[in-house]
C-alpha cells in the first residue's frame, strides 16, 4: 500500500537554512510581510526573496501557487519555492499551497518556512495528498522520496493537529490504491483480504460469503455475480468509538471489481476504466480506515458488496427476474445496471441489521450523472434535508464538489414492470435520477439517507490541486468531516 510522505515539525533554527540541501519553500502573504525565517532567507539570498515577492509575477499568483527560483545564491538548496499564502488562509488555500509543494517529484528533501502556524497542518495534508503516486506495477526500483520538514515555532502543537490529518491522508491513499488497482489483482477475494487486514488497526471486520448471502435472500446481489468465477461477498466493517451500544451511522459502497456490463455488454472503447467500478466500496473502506486511525469518537459501520459483472454461460440474462432480500422482485432489463441491484440488498441488510441513525451510500452508479454534472461534482440524492445539507457543507469545506439533484414520484413511475415489482432501468433520460429512485425503494420510510453518485468524480484523466491523474479518493475527507460534525460534535 502507498504510504504518505514522512513529515516532520521542528523548532525554528535559523542557522539550518543556509546549509539545507534539497528544496526550500517560504510561505509569504501577498502584502509581502516576511516571517523571521523568511527574512533570514532574504538576507542569505541578498534580497532575491524580497524582489521575487515584489514582482508582478508574484502579484499574479493565485493563493497557494508558487514562484520557483532555481539555484538561489546564498543557499545550498537547488530550488527556492516562494509560495503565496495569506496570513489567514482558508482551509482550501492552505491545502492548495501544500499541493503546490507536493506536486514536485524527486528525491530532494524539502524544508518549509514561514506561514500561519494554525494552518501548517492543512498545508502538510495538501502536500501529502498531492504527493501520492501509484507505483505498484512499475518495475523500475523506486527511489526514496525526500523527507519533509516544517520549521515552526510550536512544533508539538502543530504535530498534534497534523495527527488526524495524517489519518486522513492514509484513508485517501487506501481508497486511491484500491481504485487504481487493476481487476486481475483486485479480485473480490483480494479486496476482502485487504479489508480484513484492517483488523490489525482495531477495526472489526466480518466477511459474508455466498452461502451466507443466499441464506439472507440476497438474490439481487447474487444475480450480478453469477456469471463470474470470482465469489460474491459482503464485507461488514464496524468502528466502535462512540457510546457503547448506541446505534451507528452506516456507509454502504458499490464494489464491482470489474463491470463488463454482463450480457448487456459494454463497448470495447474505454471499458478498461471499469476497474474503478468499486470506487464506492473503496471510499467506504478509506473512511473506515481514517476513523480507525484517528480513533473517532463515533459508532460507524461500513458495508460493501463485492462482485464482478461478467458475461458467461452462467451469467444473468436480460429479462431475468430476481428476488431481493427485502422481498421485492426485480425484472433485470439491462444487466449493465448492476450497481443498483447490489445496493438494493446491501442497503436493506445495513438497515435491518444495524437500525442506523442514517445511511449514506456511494457508487459509481451511472454514466448519466457524468452527462449532467461532468467530473467536477458528485450527484447527491437525498430524502432528508438536514442530513443532505450537513453533507453538502462538509464537502464544501473540504473542497470536494457535490451538487444536490432532484427526486420525485414521476421518475419513480418509470420503473414499473409488466411482470415483476419493478424493472432495474427506466429509460435513458434522467437516468441518474431514476437510478436514485430505484435505490430509494430499498430505504425504510423514515431513514435519513443520501446517495452519492461518484461515477464522474472517483477517477480523473487529469491532475488536480490535490491529486495526480487517476483515482481521486473523492469523498473520504467530506465523509470524515461529516462524521466529526454530526456524530462527534
- Please identify every residue annotated as catalytic: 266, 340
Contacts with ligand BES by CB under 6 A: the residue count is 15
Residue 225 lies near ligand BES (rule: CB under 6 A): no
What are the φ/ψ torsions at residue 240 (nearest 5 degrees)?
-105, 85
The entry of Zn ion, Mn ion, ligand BES, none near residue 366 (CB within 5 to 8 angstroms by kind) is: ligand BES
Q: State the residue number with the nearest CB to Mn ion.
A: 336
Minimum CB–partner distance for residue 463 and ligand BES (Å):
19
Pair 67, 50: CB distance under 8 Å: no
Minimum CB–partner distance for residue 404 and ligand BES (Å):
20
Give 90's contacts (C-beta < 8 A, 6+ positions apart): none
Near ligand BES by CB under 6 A: residue from 337, 346, 373, 423: 337
The entry of Mn ion, Zn ion, ligand BES, none near residue 431 (CB within 5 to 8 angstroms by kind) is: ligand BES
Identify the DSSP state of 431. H
Residue 54 CB: number of other CB atoms within 10 A?
11
Minimum CB–partner distance for residue 365 and Mn ion (Å):
9
Near ligand BES by CB under 6 A: residue from 63, 367, 401, 470: 367
Q: Which stretch binds ligand BES (CB under 6 A): 20-28, 121-129, 331-339, 437-445?
A: 331-339
Alpha carbons 250 and 358: distance in angstroms, whole number? 6
Residues near Mn ion, by CB under 5 A = 259, 336, 338
**Complex with Zn ion: residue 102 or 339, whichever CB lies closer:** 339
Alpha carbons 147 and 293: distance in angstroms, whole number? 22
Minimum CB–partner distance for residue 431 and ligand BES (Å):
5
- Residues 274-293 as x/- pattern, contact with ligand BES by CB under 6 A: ---x----------------
Residue 224 lies near ligand BES (rule: CB under 6 A): no
Alpha carbons 305 and 283: distance in angstroms, whole number? 13
- Helices (H) and strands (E) counted in the chain, each on its own, are 16, 19
Question: DSSP letters of 58-108?
Answer: HHTPPTT-EEEEES-TT-S-SEEEEEE--SS--HHHHHHHHHHHHT--SS-
Residue 339 lies near ligand BES (rule: CB under 6 A): yes
Residue 106's nearest CA partner among 152, 165, 151, 148 is 148
Q: Which stretch binds Zn ion (CB under 5 A): 51-59, 195-203, 243-251, 274-282?
A: 274-282
Near Zn ion by CB under 5 A: residue from 339, 430, 456, 473: 339
Alpha carbons 18 and 15: distance in angstroms, whole number? 7
Residue 310's nearest CA partner among 231, 425, 219 is 231
Cα 26 off chain centre by:
29
Q: Which of residues 443-482 bind ligand BES (CB under 6 A)?
A: 455
Binding site for ligand BES (CB under 6 A): 259, 277, 334, 336-339, 364-368, 425, 431, 455
- Interface ranges with Zn ion (CB under 5 A): 256, 259, 277, 339
Amino acid at each position: 500500500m502507498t504510504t504518505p510522505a514522512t513529515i516532520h515539525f521542528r523548532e525554528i533554527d535559523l542557522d539550518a537554512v543556509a546549509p539545507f540541501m534539497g528544496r526550500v519553500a517560504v510561505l509569504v502573504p501577498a502584502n509581502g510581510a516576511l516571517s523571521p525565517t523568511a527574512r533570514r532567507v532574504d538576507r542569505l539570498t541578498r534580497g532575491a526573496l524580497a524582489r521575487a515577492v515584489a514582482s508582478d509575477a508574484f502579484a499574479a499568483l493565485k493563493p497557494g501557487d508558487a514562484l520557483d527560483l532555481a539555484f538561489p545564491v546564498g543557499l545550498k538548496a537547488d530550488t527556492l519555492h516562494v509560495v503565496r499564502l495569506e496570513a489567514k488562509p482558508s482551509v482550501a488555500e492552505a491545502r492548495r499551497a501544500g499541493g503546490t509543494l507536493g506536486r514536485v517529484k524527486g528525491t530532494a528533501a524539502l524544508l518549509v518556512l514561514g506561514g500561519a502556524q494554525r494552518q501548517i497542518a492543512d498545508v502538510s495534508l495538501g502536500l501529502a495528498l498531492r504527493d501520492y503516486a501509484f507505483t505498484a506495477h512499475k518495475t523500475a526500483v523506486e527511489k526514496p522520496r525526500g523527507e519533509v520538514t516544517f520549521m515552526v515555532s510550536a512544533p508539538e502543537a502543530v504535530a498534534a493537529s497534523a495527527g488526524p490529518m495524517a489519518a486522513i491522508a492514509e484513508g485517501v491513499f487506501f481508497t486511491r490504491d484500491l481504485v487504481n488497482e487493476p481487476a486481475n489483482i483486485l479480485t473480490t477475494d483480494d479486496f476482502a483480504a485487504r479489508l480484513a487486514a484492517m483488523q490489525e488497526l482495531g477495526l472489526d471486520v466480518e466477511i459474508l460469503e455466498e452461502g451466507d448471502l443466499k441464506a439472507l435472500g440476497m438474490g439481487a446481489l447474487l444475480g450480478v455475480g453469477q456469471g463470474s468465477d470470482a465469489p460474491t461477498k459482503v464485507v461488514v466493517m464496524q468502528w466502535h468509538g462512540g457510546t457503547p451500544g448506541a446505534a451507528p451511522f452506516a456507509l454502504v459502497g458499490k464494489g464491482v471489481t470489474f463491470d463488463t456490463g454482463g450480457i448487456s455488454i459494454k463497448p470495447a472503447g474505454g471499458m478498461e476504466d471499469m476497474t474503478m467500478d468499486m470506487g464506492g466500496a473503496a471510499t467506504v473502506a478509506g473512511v473506515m480506515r481514517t476513523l480507525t486511525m484517528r480513533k473517532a469518537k463515533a459508532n460507524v459501520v461500513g458495508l460493501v458488496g463485492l462482485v464482478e459483472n461478467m458475461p458467461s454461460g452462467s451469467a444473468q440474462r436480460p429479462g431475468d427476474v430476481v428476488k431481493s432480500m427485502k422481498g421485492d422482485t426485480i425484472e433485470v432489463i439491462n444487466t449493465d445496471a448492476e450497481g443498483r441491484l447490489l445496493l438494493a440488498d446491501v442497503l436493506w441488510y445495513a438497515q435491518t441489521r444495524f437500525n442506523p441513525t442514517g445511511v449514506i451510500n456511494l457508487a459509481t452508479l451511472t454514466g448519466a450523472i457524468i452527462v449532467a454534472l461532468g467530473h467536477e461534482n458528485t450527484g447527491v440524492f437525498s430524502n432528508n434535508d438536514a442530513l443532505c445539507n450537513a453533507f453538502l457543507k462538509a464537502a464544501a469545506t473540504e473542497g470536494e464538489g457535490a451538487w444536490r439533484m432532484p427526486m420525485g414520484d414521476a421518475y419513480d413511475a418509470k420503473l414499473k414492470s409488466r411482470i415483476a415489482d419493478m424493472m432495474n432501468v427506466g429509460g435513458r433520460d434522467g437516468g441518474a435520477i431514476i437510478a436514485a429512485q430505484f435505490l430509494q425503494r430499498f430505504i425504510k420510510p423514515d431513514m435519513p439517507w443520501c446517495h452519492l453518485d461518484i461515477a464522474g468524480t472517483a477517477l480523473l484523466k487529469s491532475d488536480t490541486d490535490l491529486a495526480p491523474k487517476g483515482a481521486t479518493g473523492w469523498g473520504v475527507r467530506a465523509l470524515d468531516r461529516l462524521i466529526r460534525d454530526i456524530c462527534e460534535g
